[in-house]
Chains A and B, each alone.
Chain A
Amino acid sequence: MNPIHEIQQHMTRRHFLGTTGIGMGSLAMASLLGDVPALAETGSGSSHFAPRAKRIIYIHLAGSPPQHDLLDPKPILKDLDGQPCPDSIFQQERFAFIKGHPRILASPYEFRQHGQSGMEFSELLPNLSTIADDLTIVRSMHTDEFNHAPAQLFLLTGSPRFGRPSMGSWLTWGLGSEANDLPGFVVLVSGGKAPSAGKSTWGSGFLPSVHQGVQCRSGPDPVLYLNDPHGMDRSMRRLSLDSLRELNEAAFAQHGDQETRTRIDQFELAFKMQMSVPDVMDISNEKADTLGMYGAVKGASSFANNCLLARRLSERGVRFVQLFDWGWDTHGTGTHDDIITQLPMKCREVDRPIAALIADLKQRGMLEDTLVIVSGEFGRTAMNEERNGSKFLGRDHHPHCFSIIMAGGGMKPGLTYGRTDDMGYAVLENPVHVHDLQATVLHAMGLNHEQFTYRYQGRDFRLTDVHGKVVHDLFA
């Protein structure tokens, strides 16, 4: 690799493609904001083919919900409830917490078919059930990891170890942002805790840090240090930035460093963000109907509010909105993490907002080019965990199969894809590995995952590592 190429890589890929050879000094710095032309404006020159989706809302249910109780019914388990699981399973498996010979746990929840498609949902998801025909369910997801942090990293960065760019970073690096006064990759966290793997799940790895997710928080300071100090109102800030600009212009005239120009612009963009971010984060102008539909409450910090914010951010052109919701690690050591008390509570928190988000995107005509994904990082066992003889019902970590929901972005609505065995233990048909999901997501965004690479330390890195195949069957 040569230095010019090197510097080009520090920009968004789009930026590189839109510019030729010489004069890179002025382009060396990528911008978080809209100095990169939007994909739509330049046609397909920057993606590998026509995209199905322009933006993504990725809802991660951190800790991983139990598929047996939500999306993948296994009626046969009712007859086996409380029986020891087959030896064949027990002997070959490593568990995180299960000790001794585990026993089968049938789901205590009823499943029913919904919509024209007859898609099956448990009674814990009454609102999602109503939009069954807008959803695509994959029951045959599987992963290689069975601890939270590595599994989250694997799902969202393509590697169970730290140091790789997250999906949102890849996409903003590759496609730039459509928003001209907002970050291209925004992260919203609910449930009281961040995901296990921390900020690495929205980190930029070896990509320029400008592409890392920007965490927006509810409350008065949605982006860190967004507010001017006390005693410095907007006009004073304007006054000082004008003066700063003039001083920086004078310096630029002296030495002509393009970095100085970029910095001048970034101060102006910061000034804009000080208005636009609170504006997008402020839901007080939303209609009461809309708020009610999501279950969002003004001034609250909740998953429901985050879903509404996700729509608002997407509307303004944010490329990748990542939601994390904590509280799905239902081991059954107490009521705080069992499937009788905790799971229904968590479902009540997310069922309506997710359904509302998808319906809202649809009524605004955005669903067709917005890909919504709802997933955990792995699945949960068909067996009751009974950690230390716990009397509460719960399930241990399980990498071999799990179910996710997708909607919009070119996905085939009403499709239930893949099949697991009667235990809900292993995938029988149409397995979708985590790398396949990543390849499919990139495909939806118009990118060939094998050609979408970043050269670092002498190697071309991909989100899908050296694996992954696009699941074309998922597309309408």
Chain B
Amino acid sequence: MLTTVMMALMASPLGADDPVSFDREIRPLLAMRCILCHGNAEESRRANLRLDTMDGLLGEMRDGGQVVVPGDPAASGLYQRISTDNPDVRMPPADEGHDALSPQERLLIHRWIKQGAKWEQHWAWVAPIQPVVPDMMSHPVDAFINRRVERAGLKSSPRADRATLLRRASLDLIGLPPTPEEVDLFLQDDQPGAWDRQVQRLLDSPHFGERWARVWLDHARYADSRGYEKDADRTIWPWRDWVINAFNQDVPFDQFTVEQLAGDMLDDSTPEQVLATAFHRNTMTNDEGGTDDEEFRIAAIVDRTNTTMQAWMGLTIGCAQCHDHPSDPFSHREYYGLFAMLNQTQDADRTDEHPVLPVLSLADQSLLEIAKSERMQAEEDLNNRLAVLATEHIFSETSITERGDRYWIDDDLPVGANANEVNGEVWPWQKGHEKIPAFSGSRMHVASASGPTTVRQQYFESAYLPLVLQEGDQLVAHVWLDPEDPPAQIMLQFHMPGDWEHRAFWGGDHNPWGQLGTTSRIRIGDLPQTGQWVRLELDPAVVGLKPGDAIDGWAFTQAGGTVAWDAAGVLRDEHIEQASLHSLQAFEARQRSLLNPVIPEDVLAVIRTPMDQRDPAGQTRLEHWYLRNVQIESRQELAALLKKRELIDQRIAAIEASAALVPVMRSVSPEMARTTHVLERGSFLSPGDEIDPHVPELLHPLEPDRLPDRMALAKWIASRENPLTARVHVNRTWERLFGRGLVVTLEDFGTQGDRPTHPDLLDWLAVDFMDQGWSHKELCRLIVTSETYQRSPAPQQGVRELDPENRWLSHAPRVRLEAEAVRDQALAASGLLDAQLHGPPVFPDQPAGLWQVTYDNRDWPQGEDRQRHRRGIYTFWRRSSPYPSMTTFDAPSREICSVRRIQTNTPLQALVTLNDPVYVEAAKALASRMVEEGGEDDSARLQRGFRLVLGRMPTSEELSLLMELAQSARRQYLNTPGEMEAILLQWPGTPPSSADPADLAALVVVANVLLNLDEVLTRG
């Protein structure tokens, strides 16, 4: 109570005529004393009276009269009820344990009504308008800050010394301390703009992204595990690297926003933009047996709704999940309007984390790039060789036009031939024998007819690979007639699908088929000589066949006698396999002759194109394919090159298969769109009315002509019209740089949150931020180049009494380093830091047995190659058991969105920095550096150590205290050689040989003290 009054008194002078601001003075008072029963929440509203809207304040009381009569406090129901002495009527009600308003508070309301009861909207619901800078000669930040410093009667501190300043900015901007050499460069830079140059250097540092990503990861509740009971591992670190890159590349904050909320919905979205949406896949998933996936899917959407509003707009709308927000104008239904826009993604608390995006680590990406460039090289080598081989082989003259037989029936029927049966014989094969030697191969067709002119016929159809006739082909068969049993007639007959009408005969006309004298039955001549193999040749045209016809069946027919047949097919311009292996022309001709060539389509297409119509690329493709795959000499020569390329291909495939599968957002298809219902009391088992996606009425509308989907929500948040987004980001950035926000409640810009200490500065910065293209780097630059930022941390005389909290920033605030920075700094100062960026999470030392896991036996890896000294942002973050020293230094568990780490100061923190093995290791490494870089002299070594942790030189008092410590420690170690030996064990690297053991042991003690100095743990 007291504090409210003090606020009111501080904020407004006491004069009765000074204007009272509703927003600054009256609303906070109503919010604290009245709004819970007379506010936005319909359920809990009493007497149907609301004091949070203009209509409510100017409306009727339930029992008559007006709530507020502008200009007339006595006639105003509100004033009557707060000022009456009658305890039955007085508000807030005494019988419920509430105190009456104080006289000052009553007076304030009296004055406000008297002055006309002017209503103002809550400041944060109105988009910022850039105020005029009060002093155009000053840096804008200083102009606003100095005005308040002066008004508060304070005196500003001068600029801090350069070493302090550089350490401050380094820790603030990149989260790491400056090296003594960096400090020296700054100290020696006596040209104008020295500070700007340092700021530029820090903004350009790749560690800038790591430091600011760290902040964003708390917003995003980033963790390497899924949460809940099983808390299984989750692969989502590529998104963390995306954030680091985004800050390093200074991606405009509006784009940063849209990509994370709806990057997958952008036109032609890149993999990076899809990866950005993993922001909202940091929600927890429950893999416990028996859990209802829909329950936890809803829980994830609730978390996304709350997180979106909290992370970007500084709103705490979680209460509207179950009922109307009690104090801010957001209804239960409006909550589900926002929820509806986020309710259309595919993820559904599935164990496989569907949907996912394959992402390669940077290391793998570079391996892949190397492999791909090697592949290009291999390809080039191949092509170079091919070019040479082409000249050698493509046009080499191999005779390909020799005529020769190509047998279709020889020792076997063609594949798939379906032959008839005669006397139980399918095809009367006989091995060659003494009487009739086979003409070709080992066997032949031998048949005897039962009577002198009895017709006997053997035939087959349906050969799978037909005999396709070419230009110049002659049909060929070889026949042997038995001199002791000669036939009266022999006939050849050919089949194309459904058509046997192609017959040619020798000898007498003894069969009835077809029409004599036509192609269906034509006599060629007399029977040939008996007792010897005779070659029969037949022009296909004679039996009505032409080039291109596909013969799939064949018949040998005889009238009487015994006849042997063998080696039947065609005589053609010989395109044999052998020729193909040497000559492209032969190869082409052969391919053209085949019904089903088994070569790539595009190569075949070239072959089928007449030579003079081919394009050069096609021709080259053909030639190269031929040389790689067919031509016998080149094929062998190229085999090694091809093998090499194949191995590279395998490597590429392996790298691609190792891609991390990162959960991302994907919208459901329109036909799968979900209907959103209000959930009564927030329970997924109690769906109420159906709700269309929409944004709270109080705020600016969605862009017109746009579906109210996730993208619309993203654009709405990243809009200049949004009264909160820019203010919230500017405020949070300010908090990282000054230890407290201009609005202290970073998480609540609503009516229950704090009002800004410097509303005009906040608005000026917010508008400027948007004007500068939402550039986070420019925002940082603007603030750190102000005088305000550069002030000394020591207050001027009397300031502490007047402004104990340093609200008005007359001097630089001292802020304890955040968890990650405490450790990063120790590693950096001691030289242990492994400064590489990006990659999978790492497992630095932690005490054994901390992971007592419920359902599996995963444990903290203990191997040697663990990258133990990476920055804290890369440490594996398990929600159910975060890295212990982080927790001790106030890091959240990352189960839900957290935008502010409340700083504590505890003995457990002291135990970490004194005894955690990594700090002991850092102390030893720091001792090494003190010896190696400081030189022989004790005092020089101590100064070096001091500068490594703090940048500045020690004062003479500090130096002498350190000297004393070093000497005492040295003496004590000489008296306890066992202890001395023990402290020198487990030394990181090689202990410097130039120091004697007692000196070195003493320096470890000194280094341990240095790393625990208040000034080291604090950014001053």
Q: A199-B881, A229-B983, A231-B981 are in contact. Are A243 and B807 (CB under 8 A)?
A: no
User: Any chain B CB within 8 A of the CB of A293?
Assistant: no
Per-position contact with B for A247-283: 1 when CB-CB < 8 Å, else 0? 1101110111101101110110110011000000000
Do A189 and B982 touch (CB < 8 A)? Answer: no
Give the size of the chain A interface in residues (CB under 8 angstroms): 94
Do A32 and B893 touch (CB < 8 A)? Answer: no
Provide the residues of chain B in CB contact with A26, threshold 8 Å.
Answer: 804
Do A232 and B879 touch (CB < 8 A)? Answer: no
Do B290 and A232 touch (CB < 8 A)? Answer: no
User: Any chain A CB within 8 A of the CB of B800?
Assistant: yes
Residue from the list A4, A32, A459 in contact with B3, Cβ < 8 A: A4
Do B904 and A2 touch (CB < 8 A)? Answer: no
User: Any chain A CB within 8 A of the CB of B1018?
Assistant: yes
A259 to B1015, CA, bound (A): 11
Provide the residues of chain A in CB contact with B807, threshold 8 Å.
Answer: 3
Q: A198-B880, A199-B893, A240-B965 are in contact. Are A94 and B915 (CB under 8 A)?
A: no
Residue from the list B905, B911, B1018 in contact with A225, Cβ < 8 A: B911
Do B854 and A193 touch (CB < 8 A)? Answer: yes
Do A240 and B854 touch (CB < 8 A)? Answer: no
Provide the residues of chain B in CB contact with A94, threshold 8 Å.
Answer: 292
Please give the distance in Å from A332's CB to the nearest CB on chain B.
14
Q: A24-B805, A239-B968 are in contact. Are A230 and B985 (CB under 8 A)?
A: yes
Q: Residue among A33, A194, A231 with the most chain B CB within 10 A?
A: A231
Do A270 and B958 touch (CB < 8 A)? Answer: no
CB nearest to B901 among chain A residues = A209
Q: A193-B853, A236-B1005 are in contact. Are A273 and B906 (CB under 8 A)?
A: no
Binds B, one of A5-13, A84-92, A134-142, A423-431: A5-13
CB nearest to A63 among chain B residues = B854
Binds B, one of A72-80, A109-117, A216-224, A304-312: A216-224
A289 to B814, CA, bound (A): 55
Do B816 and A259 touch (CB < 8 A)? Answer: yes
Which B residues from 194 to 245 make CB contacts under 8 A with A? Answer: 227-229, 231
Please give the distance in Å from B29's CB to the nearest CB on chain A.
11
CB nearest to A195 among chain B residues = B854
Do A243 and B1009 touch (CB < 8 A)? Answer: yes
Q: A3-B807, A4-B6 are in contact. Are A162 and B965 (CB under 8 A)?
A: no
Do B912 and A225 touch (CB < 8 A)? Answer: yes
Q: A149-B288, A240-B965, A263-B1017 are in contact. Are A226 and B917 (CB under 8 A)?
A: no
A148 to B1005, CA, bound (A): 47
Do B905 and A259 touch (CB < 8 A)? Answer: yes
Residue from the list A192, A209, A237, A459 in contact with B319, Cβ < 8 A: A459
A43 to B854, CA, bound (A): 43
User: Any chain A CB within 8 A of the CB of B574?
Assistant: no
Residue from the list B962, B980, B1020 in contact with A255, Cβ < 8 A: B1020
Binds A, one of B125-133, B183-191, B490-498, B750-758: B750-758
Which B residues from 969 to 1020 make CB contacts under 8 A with A? Answer: 969, 972-973, 976, 979-986, 1001, 1004-1005, 1008-1009, 1012-1015, 1017-1018, 1020
Do A203 and B1018 touch (CB < 8 A)? Answer: no
Do B1005 and A239 touch (CB < 8 A)? Answer: yes
User: Any chain B CB within 8 A of the CB of A30?
Assistant: yes
Do A458 and B289 touch (CB < 8 A)? Answer: no
User: Any chain B CB within 8 A of the CB of A31?
Assistant: yes
A240 to B914, CA, bound (A): 10
Do A457 and B316 touch (CB < 8 A)? Answer: yes
User: Any chain B CB within 8 A of the CB of A100?
Assistant: no
Residue from the list B7, B804, B893, B908 in contact with A203, Cβ < 8 A: B893
Residue from the list B747, B751, B852, B1001 in contact with A192, Cβ < 8 A: B852
User: Any chain B CB within 8 A of the CB of A208?
Assistant: yes
Please give the distance in Å from A398's CB to the nearest CB on chain B.
12
Do A251 and B907 touch (CB < 8 A)? Answer: no
User: Any chain A CB within 8 A of the CB of B566?
Assistant: no
Provide the residues of chain B in CB contact with A210, threshold 8 Å.
Answer: 904-906
Do A32 and B795 touch (CB < 8 A)? Answer: no
Do B905 and A459 touch (CB < 8 A)? Answer: no
Task: Place the interface of chain B in its size category.
Answer: 35 or more
Provide the residues of chain B in CB contact with A200, threshold 8 Å.
Answer: 880, 893, 895
Provide the residues of chain A in CB contact with B316, threshold 8 Å.
Answer: 457-459
User: Any chain B CB within 8 A of the CB of A163?
Assistant: yes
A429 to B902, CA, bound (A): 44
Provide the residues of chain A in CB contact with B905, threshold 8 Å.
Answer: 29, 31, 210, 259, 262-263, 266
User: Any chain B CB within 8 A of the CB of A235?
Assistant: yes
A7 to B853, CA, bound (A): 37
Q: A198-B881, A236-B969, A250-B961 are in contact. Are A223 and B908 (CB under 8 A)?
A: yes
A69 to B852, CA, bound (A): 28
User: Any chain B CB within 8 A of the CB of A127?
Assistant: no
Provide the residues of chain A in CB contact with B290, threshold 8 Å.
Answer: 95-97, 147, 397
Please give the distance in Å from B905's CB to the nearest CB on chain A.
4
Provide the residues of chain A in CB contact with B319, threshold 8 Å.
Answer: 459
Please give the distance in Å from A299's CB to the nearest CB on chain B.
16
User: Any chain A CB within 8 A of the CB of B327?
Assistant: yes
Which B residues from 777 to 806 make CB contacts under 8 A with A? Answer: 793-795, 800, 804-805
Do A231 and B985 touch (CB < 8 A)? Answer: yes
Please give the distance in Å from B405's CB to the nearest CB on chain A.
72
A273 to B908, CA, bound (A): 9
Do B750 and A458 touch (CB < 8 A)? Answer: yes
Do A227 and B983 touch (CB < 8 A)? Answer: no
Do B754 and A236 touch (CB < 8 A)? Answer: no
Please give the distance in Å from B1005's CB to the nearest CB on chain A.
5
Q: A257-B793, A273-B907 are known; give 13 further A-B pairs, CB within 8 A.
A: A2-B28, A32-B906, A149-B286, A206-B902, A209-B906, A225-B847, A225-B885, A231-B984, A236-B969, A243-B962, A457-B316, A458-B328, A459-B326
Residues of B at the A interface (CB closer than 8 Å) are 2-4, 6-7, 28, 32, 227-229, 231, 284, 286, 288-292, 299, 310, 316, 318-319, 326-328, 740, 744-745, 747-748, 750-755, 757, 793-795, 800, 804-805, 807, 814, 816, 847, 849, 852-854, 879-882, 884-885, 887-888, 890, 893, 895-896, 902-912, 914-917, 920, 955, 957-958, 961-962, 964-965, 968-969, 972-973, 976, 979-986, 1001, 1004-1005, 1008-1009, 1012-1015, 1017-1018, 1020
12 contacts between A and B (CB under 8 A): A21-B6, A25-B804, A95-B290, A97-B290, A147-B229, A193-B853, A198-B881, A239-B968, A240-B965, A240-B1005, A250-B957, A270-B910
